[in-house]
Amino acid sequence: MRRALSKNIKTMKNFAKSTFSIIKTIIFTALLACIAIFMINNRQMVTVEMFPLPILIETRLFMLMALCFALGILIGFFIFTTNHLKGLFFSSKNDKNQEIAQKSEKNS
C-alpha cells in the first residue's frame, strides 16, 4: 500500500514539474514575442545625451531598449549571484558556529 502511494506521489510530482516547465516555456516565449514586436514597432531615431559628459549618441530606439534590457538582466544576475553566494557563505559559517556551540554545551 505504501509503495503504491509513494509511486503515485512521485508520478504526481513529475507531472507537476513537466506541466510547470511547459507553462514556463509558453510564458517566456510569449514575453519574448511581445518584446520583439514592441522593439520592431519602435524604429525611430532618438538622441541620447549623457548630461555631465559632452556625449551625444544618435541611435534607433529599439537598440537603446535592447541595451537597457540586457543591462537590467546583467545587473539583476550580478545582484542575485552575489546575494546567493553571500547567503551560502554566511549560512555555512553560521552552521559551523552552531556546531561549535553545540559541542561546547555537550562538553560543559
Look at residue 108 in the predicted model and tell me its pLDDT.
Answer: 61
What is the predicted pLDDT for the residue at 16? 86
61-107 and 2-41 helices, crossing angle to 10°: 150
Q: Give residue 4's pLDDT.
A: 66
- Contacts of residue 64, defined as CB under 8 A and 6 or more positions apart, other chains included, come to 46, 48
Cβ proximity of 53 and 37 under 8 Å: no
The amino acid present at 85, given as its one-letter code, is L
45 in Cβ contact with 60 (< 8 Å): yes
What DSSP letter does each residue of 1-70 carry, written as one string?
-HHHHHHHHHHHHHHHHHHHHHHHHHHHHHHHHHHHHHHHH---EEEEEETTTTEEEEEEHHHHHHHHHH
Question: How would you write the pLDDT of the chain (108 residues) with one tens digit per residue?
Answer: 566 667 777 788 888 889 999 999 999 999 989 988 988 898 899 999 988 889 999 999 989 988 998 999 999 999 888 877 776 666 555 566 666 777 777 666
pTM of the model: 0.52
Asked whether 89 and 71 are in contact (CB, 8 A), the reply is no
Give the cell for residue 19. Answer: 506541466
What is the domain partition of the chain in residue ranges? 61-108
